[in-house]
Amino acid sequence: MPHKGEPLLDEVKAVKAWLRVRPDDGSRALFTSQKGGALSREQVHRIFKGIAERAGISKGKRFVHILKHSRASHLVGTMDIALLRQLLGHRNIQNTMLYAHATDKQASAAAMAAEMEAFRR
């Protein structure tokens, strides 16, 4: 998703750049091991922990699963919460709702906009 003002956070651009230099081993894996083929789950976790440590991320947040939380936090205001629940693989919508943080002012403004749109039809 394009990210205004932060080109390093533009996932599409980053993946396209990676695919231009990624060794072609004939696999469909996005990230490949040194021997070729997909990285194992253990390799992904080890690599992620090393990068997170070098980036100064606290020890308690050096888990690949934190990427799911980060993604959810960025998407929560941009798409229907039911679709986000499905995307994240949550069975219970309450687990998805943990990411939804709205103030009374935001809720009021959204309601007003929806009501005004309904009257325009």
Domain extents in the chain: 7-120
Asked whether residue 116 carries a pLDDT value surpassing 80, the answer given is yes
Q: What is the pLDDT of residues 71-109, one digit of tens each?
A: 888 888 888 889 999 998 999 999 999 888 777 887 888
CA atoms of 2 and 104, how far apart (whole Å): 29
Give the max Cα distance, the chain.
Answer: 62
Whole-model pTM: value is: 0.56
Identify which of 68, 76, 117, 67 has the alpha carbon closest to the alpha carbon of residue 99. 76
Alpha helices of 7-103 — where are they, by DSSP H? Answer: 11-21, 41-54, 65-75, 81-88, 93-97
CB atoms within 10 A of CB 29: 13
